[in-house]
Amino acid sequence: MTGRMSPTIKIESIGGSLATQVAERSGASPMSCYQCAKCTGGCPVASGGDLKPHELVRLVQMDQHLAVLSSRFIWECTSCQTCTTRCPQKVDIAAMIDALRGMSRSAGAVAPSTAVPVFTDLFLDAVRKHGRVNELGLMVRFKLRTRRFFEDVDKAPMMLSKGKLPLLAREVAGKDERKAMFGRAAEGGAK
Amino acid sequence: MTYAFFPGCSLDGAARDFHRSTLAVTARLGLELPELKDWICCGSTAAHSTDPLLADALPAKSLSGAGGATVAVACAACYSRLKTANRHIAADAALRARVAQVVGRDYDGRTPVLHLLEILVRDIGLERIRAAIRSPLAGLKVACYYGCLLARPPEITGFDDPENPTLMDRLLETAGATPVEWPHKTECCGASFSITQPGIVLRLGNEILAMAQAAGADCISTACPLCQLNLDMRQKDIEAKSGRRYNLPVFYFTQLLGLAMGCPADELSLGSLVVEPAALLEARGIGR
């Protein structure tokens, strides 16, 4: 670990509503964490993050909505499952972060530096429309949306020349059925 | 033996070489892999980080069409999502009912899902693999790289030891190669951050390549489309940023196994590799 000090936590309130919400959404048990930091030891993105995983869990325990939901870290998690696998208290931190991403979006608190929500929406839109994801189409739409025209300009020609980017997407039948399925999922499967 | 094959989106796109080499190898072993009918995307991280119900419903829709057959998966991310949905649905009757409402038909979460490595090593067995080897990969030192999602979390995947998996090592050892001991078998490559936050992928890829090189590997063997792309297609960028020189070919394990079985290079799509393997294979007398 670097010599960076842990962030000073200015207590907003102690009541555990954030921990309860996260537990309900994720099935994880944030209150079990005793701060051993084994998650942080194995986390591939902790060293560059604005939070480390054990700090994130502590902030959830301490009900620090803003610090958690506006953090860059929840968008830099690679979902590698190392924290979840190694936690001696079986806190499913990766699932917590999935839940926090949703809560961050609902609260309008998404860290401005991240393009992950844009990518996620385009990805799911492709699944809804086509049933499968055509990587070239997804990359083009992502670049248009984020205006990152000059990043990785060499990659598409490289992939085309290596036969890695078919220009035509394969479409799975049942588009209307899929759209209805996405709608029912958004309503929680109640209908 | 017959399995219903779930290739996943990448195997029709950036990982078509994984697809072709998989079919080349399994054909030689007499393994039939008809595609699972009307399979759809597993939802990947996009679904599980957005909507947990959708993340279980998308795999349920595909798996409920398997008619009880065991489903074979090549992509580590698809494998993880299918197995996670199975676990959730089989363990929770209320969730099963909600997923049934979303998908439009009931699914019990019990379709067996296996990765190709499990099928090759455990179902077919190393003796039958050994009998199919025509030109052993003698002298080839391989860093077997499993990535995140095959082995983690072990309660869900049941794949192998989560800290030190050995299925790929044992397979390629049977093919005559020498797997190296190294600590980064299950480190993360950064996955789809290759598109959204490439800086993270360049840093993580550098750590993996540096460790493979330090362990004395000639090349890396992968079992996941994103692992392969991030280490192969981005290797030049990683070298430029780190100031180091790797020149480590990054194969799919099916390509290496296919070479050992005597499959021709084009059947294995070796031409799709960005870091050219020709000089290494020539130096080891492989694939002649």
Helical ranges in B161-261 per DSSP H: 167-174, 193-196, 198-214, 225-232, 235-242, 253-260
- Which CATH number is associated with domain B135-284? 3.40.50.11810
C-alpha torsion A182→A183→A186→A191, nearest 10: -120
Q: How far apart are CA B98 and CA B46, in angstroms?
A: 20
B277 interfacial to chain A (CB closer than 8 Å): no
Other Cβ atoms closer than 10 A to A56: 29
CB contact, 8 Å: A124 with chain B? yes
CB A22 within 8 A of CB A99: yes
Cross-chain residue pair A81–B148, CB shorter than 8 Å: yes
Burial A70-91 (b: 16+ CB within 10 A, else e): bbbbbbbbbbbbbbbbbbeeeb
Which of B140, B135, B134 lies closest to B279 in space, CA to CA? B140
Instruction: Closest CB to A85: pick one of B39, B162, B271.
Output: B162
Select the more confidently predicted residue: A170 or B91: B91
User: Does residue B176 carry a pLDDT above 80?
Assistant: yes
Distances (CA, A) of A21 to A10, A15, B101, B139: 21, 12, 25, 55
Domain limits, CATH 3.40.50.11810, in chain B:
135-284
| Domains, chain A | 17-106 (1.10.1060.10), 116-183 (no CATH)
For chain B, residues classed under CATH 1.20.1050.140 are 4-115
pLDDT in tens, B89-99: 999 999 999 99
Residues from chain B that touch A135, judged by Cβ atoms under 8 A, are 9-10, 13-14
A171 touches chain B (CB under 8 A): no
Over 50: is that where the pLDDT of A2 sits? no
Are B148 and A120 within 8 A, CB to CB? no
Q: Which helix (H) or strand (E) holds B72?
A: strand B71-73
Q: Are A166 and B16 inside 8 Å of each other by CB?
A: yes
Which distant-in-sequence residues (6+ apart) come within 8 Å of A182 by Cβ? A124, A128, B54
pLDDT more than 70, % of chain B: 100
Average pLDDT, chain B: 96
Give the up-direction half-sphere exposure of residue B141: CA atoms within 13 A in the CB hemisphere: 11
Percent of chain A with pLDDT over 90: 68
pLDDT at A147 over 90: no
- In the three-class reduction of DSSP (H, G, I as helix; E, B as strand; rest coil), residue B224 is classed as coil
3.40.640.10, 1.10.287.110, 3.40.309.10, 1.20.1050.140: which CATH number matches B4-115? 1.20.1050.140
pLDDT tier for residue A9 given thresholds of 50, 70 and 90: low
B273 interfaces chain A, CB cutoff of 8 Å? yes
Mean pLDDT throughout B132-158?
97
Question: Are A97 and A30 within 8 A, CB to CB?
Answer: no
**pLDDT at residue B245, as a whole number:** 98
Q: Is the pLDDT of residue B3 over 50?
A: yes
Instruction: Mark yes or no for CB contact B187/A44 under 8 Å.
Output: yes
